[in-house]
Amino acid sequence: MGKQTIRQEARRAALDAQSRRREERAERERRVEALAIKVLVAIREREAADRRAGEALTEMIETERLSAREAVQWCGDEVSTREVARLRRVAADAANPAAQEEADLGGVVSQ
């Protein structure tokens, strides 16, 4: 086998290996991208569900004049009073975007 043939075969083998690695990386990137989308969708869905739950709890407490403890009892102890407070904050923040923006900035208000 000549020197030139050996080089050509070696070059072809190296190019094939590089091509396979590029394809494997591209496939992995597609899988990771799809998983990232699933994560973000689930988070947004959870945030929307938390907001709706907080709105309902706020209505129970403010409109129907229940205490947080009574709201917990009406919900079959599926939530705690601490969770009621958190969900109500989520709903209040969603209703007041300026307050949410301020909280996101760590309470710093630009002047």
pTM over 0.95, yes/no: no
2: confidence class by pLDDT, cuts 50, 70, 90: confident
35-92 pLDDT, tens digit per residue, is 999 999 999 999 999 999 999 999 999 999 999 999 999 999 899 999 999 999 999 9
C-alpha of 66 from chain center? 32
Q: Domain for residue 36, yes or no? A: yes
Query: Would 109 be classed as within a structural domain?
Result: no
In a domain, 93, yes or no: yes
110 assigned to some structural domain: no
Residue 82 lies inside a defined structural domain of this protein: yes
Judged on CB neighbours under 10 Å (0-12, 13-18, 19+), 84 is buried
Q: What is the C-alpha separation between 74 and 54, in angstroms, rounded?
A: 14
> For the chain, how many structural domains are there in total?
1
Q: Domain of residue 86: give its range.
A: 3-100
